[in-house]
Amino acid sequence: MNPNETIVACATPPGYSSIAVVRLSGEQAVSLLQKIFRPKQNPETYQAQHVYFGSIVDPLNNDTVDTVLVATFPGPDSYTGEDVVEISCHGNPLIVDRIIRLLLELGARSARRGEFTRRALLNGKIDLIQAEAVLDTVHATCERARRLALLQYEGKLSERIYDIRSKIVDILLFLEAGIDFADEEDVDHNPEKLASDISSTVEMIDELLKGASIGMKIRNGYKILITGRANAGKSTLFNRMVGYDRAIVHEQPGTTRDFLEEGIQVGDLYVFLYDTAGILRAAAGPDEIAQQRTKALIHEADLILMMFDGSEPMNEEDVYLYNLVKHKPKLLIVNKIDLNVRLSNELILSDSIKVSARTGENVEALVESIGRTLLSGVYEQGVLLTRHRHIDGLTRARRYLVDARNADTTEKMAYELHCALDEIGELTGKVLRKEILDRIFEEFCIGK
């Protein structure tokens, strides 16, 4: 990948649209633009924060391709840190392809996945955590995930990690001064201070790791499981919450054999909702397999919606299933309140949400309760870790710091601290490894 090459790609999704944006980045971006762009008012120089109206013209035959708007962003004050040009044309794939082909023929190169953001990283415009946040902003599945991604792109998570790095550097300076100038009287050799400073740095990492599981769930989605005995109305509630007839509903028990999954919004969260097979006392063949899958999902679920059939008394299957999920976060639901309620268990009745999945009565209140329950344990802080790479890197750095605190020689302590520093560097991209960059930017689309 030659950083001196000028790259080009469409920065908007493929297909037909009112507007498409073709993006150029590199030292030849403006000169290539000038070869195909005929502005209505010819500027002496292209200025930043100005938009120019004109036509894209094939320089070989003077054929007009499209009327466009052009914006230029001179480096280093651009997204990539290089000269950037954005051509806003009509969103016809024929037009987009023709403009890109003209630029390729004049010497530009097709951008690879994520190459614009990769150049921003290599040119010091953003760090690696912010680069990942660009991708998370594009793919955020809910409002809360979008806000988390934006905080990371603004550098809030990076600031916390740079504070940890700064603390480790200070400890190393103090430690290595003691190693290099051991005989100097004015050098403070204080092992208690070193241990205390390392411990406080470990606590800074622990503070970030504490909210990691919540951050991961917000980014990737919570798992919510509707469960209950056969014919309690699980599939009807599932369809009601999903918004269309996703599951087959029939009065015959056991209609749902395998689980169904659908991603939906609950408040400002994204969740995966599961409809599961009913639990029978005596199951065999396909029913037994279906119930084993239901039990596996119960283990994985973040929240159980435990449904009871309000039109019938509780039975042994209800009791069995209730005991199966009693240690899981759950909401109790009494369904079929549009019928004669025959469920008489006072404990269940007093602690449950009463709904009619068939008519929709009180389902909105159930959805609100789900949102409150999922967020009740949310760790409140400005930023949260949302990627395994961040969690793993900080966990390894923490381990090196603990080993440094327990080291029996100053040389061993210094080595462990340098290892911790390298882990922090890999997180932010200050220590670059090609395989890590390739893996991250392979997730990007071309043009971003």
Predicted pLDDT at 176: 72
Note the pLDDT of residue 224: 94
Q: Is 408 exposed, middle or buried (0-12, 13-18, 19+ CB in 10 A)?
A: exposed
278 close to 290: Cβ distance less than 8 angstroms: no
**Cis omega before residue 39 (within 30°)?**
no
Instruction: Please choose, from the candidates 3, 5, 4, 9, the residue with its C-alpha nearest in 3D space to the C-alpha of residue 85.
Output: 9
68-99 burial, b for 16+ CB within 10 Å, e for fewer? bebbbbbbeebbbbbbbbbbbbbbeeebbebb
pTM: 0.81
Read off the tokens for 98: 């023709």
Instruction: Single out the residue of 8, 4, 5, 1 nearest to residue 101, CA to CA.
Output: 8
247 bridge partner residues? none
Q: Which of 119, 61, 64, 133 is nearest to 95 (CA)?
A: 64
The pLDDT of residue 255: 47
How far apart CA 28 and CA 35 sit, in angstroms, is 11
Structure tokens at 350: 């007093």
* Structural domains of the chain, with CATH: 7-126 (3.30.1360.120), 129-211+385-429 (1.20.120.430), 218-375 (3.40.50.300)
Per-residue pLDDT of the chain (448 residues; tens, 9 = 90+): 666 899 999 999 999 999 999 999 999 999 999 999 999 988 878 888 889 999 999 999 999 999 999 999 999 999 999 999 999 999 999 999 999 999 999 999 999 999 999 999 999 999 999 999 999 999 999 999 999 999 999 999 999 999 999 999 999 888 876 555 455 555 456 778 888 999 999 999 999 998 898 899 999 999 999 998 888 888 889 988 988 666 545 454 544 455 788 899 888 899 999 988 766 555 555 566 667 777 888 888 999 999 999 888 888 888 888 888 889 999 999 999 988 888 878 778 888 899 998 998 999 999 999 988 888 756 555 689 999 999 999 999 999 999 999 998 888 999 999 999 999 999 998 876 776 677 777 777 777 7
Question: Beta strand 330-335 with 352-354: parallel, antiparallel or unpaired?
Answer: parallel
As a dihedral over the C-alpha atoms of residue 415, residue 416, residue 417, residue 420, rounded to 10 degrees, the angle is 130
Predicted confidence at residue 294, as pLDDT, reads: 78
